[in-house]
Amino acid sequence: MKKFTVIGLGNFGLHVAKTLFEEGHEVVVVDSDKTRVQAINSNCSEAVVMDATDKEQLNALGLETMDAVIVSTGTKISTSILICLFLQEIGVKKILAKAVDSDHGKILKKVGATEIVYPEKDMAVRVARGLSTPNILDFIPLAEDYSLMQVDPPKAFIGKSLKDLDLRAKYKVYVIAVKELIPENFVLVPQADFVIKDSDLLMILGKSDDIKKIKALK
């Protein structure tokens, strides 16, 4: 189990926090809006109402012990910059920050962010590629009738583990990797207890016809 803190509970921060918590990690959430904090109270380890631009309060949270801190403070650029600066001074080793554009991202990097995320840009690229490649991308034609493909998970797969789905027995295919978009990560040969999210992309190996059966699911 890892420990994470999510600062800012807009749509992006909310979904990141819930997903990390559902995957069994310790998740502390921070926001100045009491209503937002109360709304996620049952989907996190600890919920804190505070102004994250207050360095003393931020320092009191013990964030230097976290595996990563995610900064998602909306469109208020100055707020995210100040928070990243304080986190760097506190000694947080991994700071993942949401940026509204490339210039914002460059500044965040300068003040301590170790990784920058552009949610709208990343989703736009995914939508465009989905339209261009109609949802499935043939990466490698292997032996006759076999392929390695990238597939959006059907709704029936969301929230279920690979063990529960048992794709090898039901469809004779193998999930050899998962590309996670939120937060961005690449999982090679995922474990049986890996839970699929709607933002994931599945890399599936098997006969083309069997993989197409999965694509046809709703």
Query: What is the chain's pLDDT, residue by residue, as a tens digit (218 residues)?
Result: 899 999 999 989 999 999 899 888 999 999 999 999 999 999 999 999 999 999 999 999 999 999 999 999 977 899 999 999 999 999 999 999 999 898 999 999 999 999 998 888 777 766 666 566 544 444 444 555 777 888 889 999 999 999 999 999 999 999 999 998 877 888 999 999 999 998 899 999 988 888 888 888 86
Question: Using alpha carbons only, what angle is made at residue 193 by residues 192 and 197, rounded to the nearest 5 degrees?
Answer: 110
- Map out the domains of the chain with their CATH numbers: 3-117 (3.40.50.720), 126-215 (3.30.70.1450)
Backbone angles phi, psi at 63, to 5 degrees: -70, -20
SS3 186: strand
**CA distance linking residue 162 with residue 175, whole number of Å:** 8
Distances (CA, A) of 74 to 5, 82, 125: 16, 13, 20
